[in-house]
Every structure is written in structure tokens, then in C-alpha cells.
Structure 1
């Protein structure tokens, strides 16, 4: 009786395992293929210092760059009110990782605009707080409420490692 019971258990286990293995195919999941946005190489989270002629005004301000999904070589920049209240669309050139914009509506400060010049991202050109190699970001910004005052934004990409967080 024990031999029969052991054989039945082995058969049931075998059927169970075959059912599990055969149900692990990719049928129906091809629609979930990873898609890349046009500005993917320029997207990310950044720690940016903001300065002017007098020196550093803000340190390690958290900024985010992300694609607009408009398909027209634009991306957003957003500091979520953690720096200079900056949010709007930028024109990007993904072939050389540069960006700029003139008189863009500032979505975090209604009624004001901003201009960004000399924007660029340099791959693997910076070091994080913990010494890890990461991307660098740099641009100059001018706001309509303070014409002529050019702010310099420079920093590095967030790595995701805990030792690199501010």
C-alpha cells in the first residue's frame, strides 16, 4: 500500500510540475515589451547646485528630467519646488545630449518664464557623494522676474545608492 501511495504521490507531483512549467510561457506578454522614450539618455534624477556671481545659492537641489512623450525632441525639467521653482519643457538634441529653451512658461511659477542656455549632459563625467561615477549636468538659467541675473546649474545624476543620497 505504501508503494502504491508513493507512486501516486510521485505521479501527482510530476503532473503538478508539468502544469507549472507549461504555464510559464510568454503568451500574451509580448505587448509589454520595453519601450524607450526619445530622450531616455537625458532622463533621470539630479542633484544640482545653483550659483550666481556671488557664489552658491542652493546645494544639492533635487531635479528631474523626463520625456514629454510628444515625439518632438522635448523633455521636461522639474525641481518640484526644491530649488528655484523650475518646471517646463526643454528642446533637446539627443545626438549630443544638449538642451535649451527661450522664454518658456514656468509651470511652478505662473506668470513667469525662464530661458535655459548651454545645457548639456556629459556621460560618466561626475562623481557622486559616495564616489561612484555618474553623469554630469550643466546649464545656465535666467528668469523673467530677474532679467540679467544668470544662474548656473551644475550637478550630477542620482545613482540610487543610499550612500549617494543627500
Structure 2
């Protein structure tokens, strides 16, 4: 019986005591903060227009921070519109974005894009399901279709079934 105490009970008790003295004592709630472009980031249901003509109905695109986490963001169409994914400069204070000859490479499809008039608005856009959410709009020109300006505009994905496409 003494052998069981020596080899099992005493080391377990010692381990329990040691871990109780070195366990974490979190005093404050940690706040990891957000990203530089968090108010401009999200998934968006957008329509694509050429002039006043609807060229492509609702498709899902995304905007999100870059690894630099500064004054630029990714605009990514997930191969739904033209196969583009570009980093674009942003003005965080007025929630606008634009850039010229931005590189885009998606699965070996290498082009440049020019984005103008990019704007994210907060809470002022009505979804197709009748809900209010953030809006996005921008003009884009693709290097392999020069001279054609596409206007992309839509709303932030709400997660409500009536707003999904």
C-alpha cells in the first residue's frame, strides 16, 4: 500500500498543488481591438451595371483588411463578376476607396483594375428584403476591357434569409 502512495498519490497531489499556484489570474477583460478597415469590411450583395443597364444581378463580393492593417483593403469578387482581387487604398475617415492600375491575380488570370468613386455608407441602404444596412458602390475598369466602366453597387450581407441571393 505504501508503494501506491509513493508512486501515484504523492506525485498527483504535488502536481495539483503546483498547478494551483501558477494558474492564470485574469484581472481584466482583454480587448483585442479591431482592424483598420473594420467599418468598411464585409460581405456584400452587389449588382453590376454598364451605364444604366444591369449587366449582372446580385453577386457576393467581399472587402477586408490586408496583412498591413493600414490604409488599404482587399476588394474580392470571388470569381463571381470578373475574377478580380485587388488591394485598394482607402480613406478611413470618409469611408472611400479608389486606386489606379491595381494588380489582380486570380488563378493565373493577371490583369489590372482601376477603381474610382468607391464609397461605403452606414445604415442607409435598403436590402432586397426590406431591411436597412450598410451600402457599397464603386466604378471599376478592367485592363482587358479598356474604356468600359462598370458600376458595382449593393448592400452589406445581413444574414437574414430574405436578403440572401
| Paired positions, count | 141
Match in the other structure for 1:97 = 95
C-alpha deviation, 1:34, in angstroms? 3.0
Indicate the larger mover: 149-158 or 66-75: 66-75
Match in the other structure for 2:112 = 113
Structure 2 matches for 1:1-12, cutoff 5 A?
Answer: none
Match in the other structure for 1:61 = 59
Offset from partner CA, 1:19-44 (integer Å, 9 cap, x none) = xxxxxxx8359685332000000000
C-alpha deviation, 1:57, in angstroms? 1.1
Q: CA RMSD in A?
A: 1.9
- Tell me, yes or no, if structure 1 residue 157 matches structure 2 residue 156: yes
- Tell me, yes or no, if structure 1 residue 138 matches structure 2 residue 140: no
- The structure that is helix-richer by fraction is 1
Q: Does the 8 Å contact 1:73/1:94 carry over to 2?
A: yes
Structure 1 unaligned segments of length 5 or more: list them.
1-25
Match in the other structure for 1:20 = none
Q: For the structure 1 residues 81 and 92, does the alpha-carbon distance in structure 2 shift closer, same or farther, using more than 3 Å as the test? A: same
Match in the other structure for 1:9 = none
**Separation in 1, partners of 2:141, 2:65:** 22
C-alpha deviation, 1:113, in angstroms? 0.5
Offset from partner CA, 1:99-122 (integer Å, 9 cap, x none) = 011101112263310000000011
Structure 2 unaligned segments of length 5 or more: list them.
1-23
**Separation in 2, partners of 1:51, 1:88:** 20
Q: What stretches of structure 1 move > 6 A for 4+ residues in a row? A: none
